[in-house]
Amino acid sequence: MTRLITEEDINENLEVMEIISAIERMFVGFGEGMAATNTREDILSPQSSPDESGNTMSHLLKTMGGVIPALEVGAVRINSNILKWETRGGKRTKSKIPGETGKYTGLVLLFSTKTGELLAIFPDGIIQTYRVAVTSAIAAKYLANKDSSQIGILGAGPQARAHLLAFEDIFKIENVKVYSPTVKSRTSFVSSMGKESSVDIVSVDAPEKAFDQSNIIQCATNSLDPVFEIEWIPKGAHIGVLNRKEPPVEFFKKGTFDVFAQSWPKTKIYEEIGTVVREREMPVKNINYYVVGDESQIPEFSTSSDQNRGQVNWSKIPSLHEVISGEVKRENKEQKTAFYNRGFGTQFAAAGWALYQLAEKEDIGHVLPTRWFEQELQGT
């Protein structure tokens, strides 16, 4: 049977802590050569006209996936979204806008690697925030000082919420400082999270204040411009970022941090060109963009003038599974560490496995006949 699990089911039953062990097991699998991910594929096509405020609009079709043999699951994530680019608080941002129903379209298909059958279908929204936040928290677990108790967060959206919950499951947090350029957003975040979290959360009116005396700083924004300065990072602190544009250029330069790691796993990649199949190095980025029409109409590309951001040799940057194994580690309390959290498809397999185990145990969701999703004709 196949389970159809709704957003309401996930929101009411799944907690961040239930995903932590699955994501960590996934990274161990990568270290053992027993997990794989594919490159995220984004197809962007410009809308014929901007929105009512003149903001550029695009459609995004996004796919990504991966497998974890140890958990006997594989997953594919599919998104169909309308994007717009605008300026908020002096920062360029990229955001998704809902459809006519006021909701978004994103699905995860979870498969059994033992039988090939479809185990579950569920929306990706909550799982998306949890799989990213858990990865950041696991990185901090191994890279930050063990007694870290002061957290600074840049951002006040769903990712910031999930990160706070994930950090709270790993560290004994005493207080959290939150900054967002929108006063209403950060005020609302403090109010809502005060009901979900037991730690002291305060709003600050400048980004650098979130760094003051913080042991761990986490960026959780959708900014297309840098949101902090390197000199703000305190001695001995750990910092995490979620996209290549949140940090300043020097963030990626060798020697900026005593330890710098990333989430993207080292995995074997083969490509077919014509009739030749050959192995190649891990790609510099984990996203392939396919653009329909004039790319200058899509700010994702037209605003990327800083060429130095793409010049990092990622095959030489330690992956999180190397940090977990102890091959890469903090040597003393004074060192500064950093983590670049680049999302990939296998995280949905791990998080989906945790959700599926919970759903089976608690009978969550709607049970559908698996035969509805099967066919007699063999696919090529």
Query: What percentage of the chain carries pLDDT values higher than 70?
Result: 92
**Residue-level length of the chain:** 380
In angstroms, rounded to a whole number, what is the distance separating the alpha carbons of residues 207 and 177?
Answer: 10
The neighbour count for residue 150, using CB atoms within 10 Å, is 18
**pLDDT at residue 113, rounded to an integer:** 97
Digit-coded pLDDT (tens) for 241-267: 998 889 999 999 989 999 999 998 877
The answer to whether residue 285 scores a pLDDT higher than 70 is no
Model confidence at 129: pLDDT above 50: yes
Q: Indicate if the pLDDT at residue 231 is higher than 80.
A: yes
pLDDT of residue 224: 79
Q: Taking the alpha carbons of 244, 139, 283, 291 in that order, is the dihedral positive or negative?
A: negative
337: which strand partners?
Answer: 238, 259
| Cα gap 270→272, rounded to integer Å | 7
Q: How wide is the angle at C-alpha 168 spanned by C-alphas 198 and 222, nearest 5°?
A: 105
Q: 10 Å Cβ neighbour count for 84?
A: 18
What are 319's strand-pairing partners?
262
Which residues are within 8 A (CB) of 121 and not within 5 positions of it... i.e. 6 or more apart? Answer: 2, 3, 4, 5, 107, 108, 109, 110
Domains and CATH numbers, the chain: 2-373 (3.40.50.720)
Q: Give the pLDDT confidence score for residue 283 in this predicted structure.
A: 63
pLDDT tens, 146-188?
999 999 999 999 999 999 999 999 999 999 999 999 999 999 9
> Residue 265: its pLDDT value, please?
86
Model pTM score:
0.89
The model's pLDDT over 303-353, given as tens digits with 9 standing for 90+, comes to: 444 444 445 777 788 999 999 999 999 999 999 999 999 889 999 999 999
Report pLDDT digits (tens) over 196-210: 888 999 999 999 999
3-class DSSP string for 310-354: HCCCHHHCCEHHHHHCCCCCCCCCCCCEEEECCCCCHHHHHHHHH
Output the pLDDT for position 172: 94
Task: Note the pLDDT tens digit of each residue in 63-79.
Answer: 999 999 999 999 999 99
The label of the residue with tokens 């680049």 reads: 342
What's the chain's average pLDDT?
90
